[in-house]
Structure 1
Amino acid sequence: MFPSAPALKEIISAPFKRSQLGLFHGKMKQYGNNVPFSMQKTRRTWLPNIQNKRFFSDALQEFVQVKVSTRALKTINKYGGIDTYLLKTKSDLLGWEGMRLRIMVRERISSRQQQADSPAQASS
């Protein structure tokens, strides 16, 4: 029903592969120049602000440790938890790790709904 993780790797192009291994919410490495008084430009990069965080997933009933950008952290707080963030966010903003977690959460939620429906059908 849902695509598996290896199939996702083929679909997603990864110019900044590190961003696929966490919840970066679309943040990428940025490039620019250092420009001193002499105007001799030198290339430099800016990396996103990444934190290692542990979130409790209500669907999985366990803690999930993941690398997360501060932008994604604000969005997770806005949505009220990691589960809603994973389910509501667009797949291109999640990356490989986010899609892997989304599939796990969806499967667990659907299995719980099936378990809840089966006793109700047996008793009626």
Structure 2
Amino acid sequence: MFASLPRLGEFSQPFKRAQFGLFGGKTKQYGNNVPFSKHKTRRSWLPNVQTKRLPSETLGEKVKLKVTTRALRTIKRAGGLDNYLKQTHAHKLSHEGMRLRLKVKDTEKQKRIEYLRTPEGKQELEKQRGAHGVRSKIATALFLKTKRIANLLEEPTLEGARKARQEAAKALGLSGLASAKETIAYISRQRL
């Protein structure tokens, strides 16, 4: 009765009707009618499904969906249909939910691209690039400095660095350990 997980992946749901709406993980439930005579008969309970038109800010339209009351509460808590679709785990979304999620994400991406083409968007993009540029320059400089130190040391370990700092301090006539700059200058003069 249930499809294999690898075949359906994220979309596996046993309740067929749930594929065409937002059921929020609710499915058909089974149990027994138990009258006074204790003669049990099988019965089922269906989820409370309502047909609603829910507004989507990203799509700019109202989407007609079959939704359970539980999903309606969750949509309200999430702050709207778009947020609900983005935040909900895929195993709780149906085929229709995943289709809407992809549609919302594509529309948001398209709107973002259009915004970045405007003068305000270009300005924001330059600010982001500038911030990343400074960070990447600092990271590159630190990487090159540590690589240079590792190349200068005989043993590129913590003990090797400590020995080099002690040696530099003795040569420079300092008490204790030499600073990193003094050690690098001393080692590079020795190598030349």
TM-score of the aligned structures, taking structure 2 as reference length: 0.57
Mapped partners of 1:92, 1:28: distance in 2:
13
CA RMSD of aligned residues (A): 1.7
User: In the alignment, does 2:91 pair up with 1:92?
Assistant: yes
Where does structure 2 lack aligned partners over 5 or more consecutive residues?
1-6, 127-192
Q: Is the 8 A contact 2:22 2:71 kept in 1?
A: yes
**Which of the pair has more CA radius of gyration?**
2
Mapped partners of 2:35, 2:110: distance in 1:
60
CA distances 1:87-122 after superposition (whole Å, capped 9, x unpaired): 111111111111010000000000000111123449
Q: Which has the higher contact order (CA 8 A, sep 6+)?
A: 1
Mapped partners of 2:68, 2:98: distance in 1:
16
Which residue number in structure 1 is paired with residue 82 of structure 2?
83
Write the mapping of 1:91-110 to structure 2, written as runs, cut at 5 A.
91-110=90-109
Mapped partners of 1:45, 1:80: distance in 2:
33
Mapped partners of 1:39, 1:116: distance in 2:
67
Number of residue pairs aligned between Structure 1 and Structure 2: 115
Which residue number in structure 2 is paired with residue 74 of structure 1?
73
Q: Is the 8 A contact 2:59 2:107 kept in 1?
A: yes
> What secondary structure sits across from 2:115 in the alignment?
helix
Where does structure 1 lack aligned partners over 5 or more consecutive residues?
1-8
TM-score of the aligned structures, taking structure 1 as reference length: 0.86
Mapped partners of 1:20, 1:40: distance in 2:
35
| Counterpart amino acid of residue 110 in structure 1 | K
Which residue number in structure 2 is paired with residue 57 of structure 1?
56
Structure with a larger share of its residues in strand: 1
- The Cα shift of 1:66 comes to 0.3
Q: Is the 8 A contact 2:12 2:91 kept in 1?
A: no
Structure with a larger share of its residues in helix: 2
> What secondary structure sits across from 2:13 in the alignment?
coil
Mapped partners of 2:112, 2:68: distance in 1:
32
